[in-house]
Amino acid sequence: METVASTASFVSSASPVAGETDESSHGFLRTAWDFSFRMVLRYIKNSYKDDPFRTFLEVCLIGFIVWYMAKPKYNIGTNKVELSEKEIDELVEEWRPEPLVPALTEFERETLDKAIMIDGPNGTKVRLASGSNNKPVLNFASYNFLGFVDSPELGKHAVESLRKYGVGTCGPPGFYGTLDVHMELEKQIAAFIGHSAAILYSQAFTTTLSVIPCFSKRSDIIVADEGVNFAVQQAIFLSRSKVYWYKHNDMADLERILKDVNKQLVGRRGKNALPRKFIVTEGLFQNTGDISPLVELVELKHRYKFRIILDESFSFGVLGKRGAGLTDHFNIDPHEIDLLIGALCFAIGASGGFCCADKDLVEHQRLSGAGYCFSASLPGILTIAAADAIHALEADPDSYLDNLRDNAVLLRTLLKRIPGLQIDGAADSPLIHIRLAPDALVRMKRSGGAWTKTDIDRVLTDVAEEAQKDGVLLTRAMYVDDHERILPNSSIRICVSSAHTRKEVEKCAHAVKSAVSRITSKKR
């Protein structure tokens, strides 16, 4: 009893120091503290009386816990060097950082100086601010597959919607940035593709960048095509998942990896939870113009229990009988694709992107999709432009898509006849990459030395410039060379549009032919 009394006196003597203010809350807390302190002491005292050894054990245990908590969590070996203040000052004084950005090379400077500048609206025919004469040139460089970019009706409606929605939404979708037209467009896209739900992002690149890391986390597994576009590469990198790359469109290689992955997982299943497993590929490859073999992919998906993330940025609006993308093209139930990513800025001619998935997964993105959650929503005008374009495509798909396919096939056949060129990609893909054939390169090099990438880029730039003189606007496919995982071979990327006439397509092929023959005849 003595101890209890002394603790009580200790507590009461300590209490005036603890709380000098006379707030009621403090008074209450003090009483509570007082009470619990006494309880603990009484407990210790009693237990000591009963079993002194137990108290000793408990004290040891507490000591161990304190030691355990206090020790550094995990030692990664910082390898720190102890330095005096003076030494640090000297090191600070000495340290010279590299320049923030390296200086441009001669060729890069040239590229920048000669960069195309469009004067007025973009479309199938554009005026160039840089050109000497102000004659419009035929545009085979924009991703204007369906001609929506310069469609006058869509433009008119968009102007009208300006008077209702203004321009910016001034907030992310979570904070009063969700417009009624956003919700309508989401429903419309989901219905058009035939999936359960859709979510709208305000930029196509960021859509991919948000969706993949949103579901695929550090411990998960991604098996991806080597030829995917840069946005997918970045998204995979951002997700920090374990990634395996399979050879571009090679289903046998994919199957080999899937088997491997599953074999590895068998062993560790007991210890850890099953990771999420994804196959990531692109519908219409931006870098090659190839089309993914979806039928085989879906079969493999089921056989090996993977999910599919499909980037349809370039195939949405382009492939399929209705223009609903790759699933439409192969007549496969869109629900087979677990996450379907699309873009509204290419074929649809508006801006932004979307992701189609099951309702739960879409709702999950509204809180966890970084690009959705942390950036302003798509402006109302562009939303309406996208909705109108999809309506137009839905109402009369044949008038857009038949033309597009015919033009694509025609241009591809014409281009294939040109000597010295190498044309890849699927037969009816409107994305055509033209590359210089190896034999042509050998012929062109006077000294017989090796071609550097800059040399080839320069030749292709010259080809594009020559074609521009003939009234056809072309562009070399641009990449951030040192950031691409596998840099695609340099090419000129031609995008056919349904709004091009047969004659215009022929003119394009002709311009390419004469430009190539003029440039390749020069020795370098």
Tokens 């030749």 — which residue?
A: 459
- Helix 2-18 vs helix 24-50: crossing angle, to nearest 10: 150
From residue 228, how far is each of 85, 260, 281 by CA, in Å?
Answer: 50, 21, 6
Candidate ranges 10-18, 98-106, 412-420, 498-506; the one touching another protein (CB under 8 A): 98-106
CA angle at residue 333 from 331 to 337, to 5 degrees?
A: 115
Decide whether 44 or 118 has the Cβ nearer to another protein: 118
Among 178, 188, 422, 514, binds another protein (CB under 8 A): 178
Among 100, 252, 266, 395, binds another protein (CB under 8 A): 100
Would you count residue 266 as binding another protein (CB under 8 A)?
A: no
Candidate ranges 7-15, 35-43, 167-175, 503-511; the one touching another protein (CB under 8 A): 167-175
Would you count residue 110 as binding another protein (CB under 8 A)?
A: no
Would you count residue 373 as binding another protein (CB under 8 A)?
A: yes
- Min dist CB 379 to another protein, Å, is 5
Among 66, 183, 191, 427, binds another protein (CB under 8 A): 183
Would you count residue 115 as binding another protein (CB under 8 A)?
A: yes
Give yes or no for a contact between 357 and 194, defined as CB atoms under 8 angstroms apart. no
Decide whether 405 or 493 has the Cβ nearer to another protein: 493
- Min dist CB 200 to another protein, Å, is 12
CA angle at residue 342 from 339 to 345, to 5 degrees?
A: 160
CA distance 228 to 80: 41
Would you count residue 30 as binding another protein (CB under 8 A)?
A: no
Would you count residue 479 as binding another protein (CB under 8 A)?
A: yes
Among 131, 173, 317, 342, binds another protein (CB under 8 A): 173
- Min dist CB 404 to another protein, Å, is 14
Among 83, 191, 486, 487, binds another protein (CB under 8 A): 83
- Min dist CB 178 to another protein, Å, is 4
From residue 365, how far is each of 218, 251, 371 by CA, in Å?
Answer: 17, 30, 9
Would you count residue 391 as binding another protein (CB under 8 A)?
A: no
Interface with another protein in residues 417-446 (CB under 8 A): none
Would you count residue 465 as binding another protein (CB under 8 A)?
A: no
- Min dist CB 272 to another protein, Å, is 10
Would you count residue 16 as binding another protein (CB under 8 A)?
A: no
Would you count residue 228 as binding another protein (CB under 8 A)?
A: no
Burial level of 415, CB count in 10 A (0-12/13-18/19+)?
buried
Give yes or no for a contact between 386 and 201, defined as CB atoms under 8 angstroms apart. no
Among 69, 92, 266, 450, binds another protein (CB under 8 A): 92
What's at 502, amino acid-wise? R
CA distance 110 to 104: 9
Residue 284 DSSP class: B
26 phi/psi in degrees, rounded to 5: -65, -40
Among 4, 29, 427, 442, binds another protein (CB under 8 A): 29
x/- contact string, 285-324, with another protein (CB under 8 A)?
A: --------------------x-x-----------------
Would you count residue 26 as binding another protein (CB under 8 A)?
A: yes
Burial level of 62, CB count in 10 A (0-12/13-18/19+)?
exposed
Would you count residue 189 as binding another protein (CB under 8 A)?
A: no
Would you count residue 154 as binding another protein (CB under 8 A)?
A: yes
Closest by CA to 512, choosing from 402, 412, 371, 374, is: 412
Among 280, 345, 440, 511, binds another protein (CB under 8 A): 345
# of chain residues touching another protein (CB under 8 A): 118
H helix or E strand, kind and range, residue 201: strand 197-201
CB-hemisphere CA count at 13 Å for 221?
19
Among 171, 260, 417, 453, binds another protein (CB under 8 A): 171
Residue 174 DSSP class: I
- Min dist CB 377 to another protein, Å, is 9
Give yes or no for a contact between 178 and 377, defined as CB atoms under 8 angstroms apart. yes
* Rounded CA Rg of the chain: 32
Decide whether 27 or 419 has the Cβ nearer to another protein: 27
From residue 414, how far is each of 21, 287, 466, 513, 514 by CA, in Å?
Answer: 90, 21, 18, 9, 13
Among 185, 192, 199, 234, binds another protein (CB under 8 A): 234
CA distance 429 to 407: 10
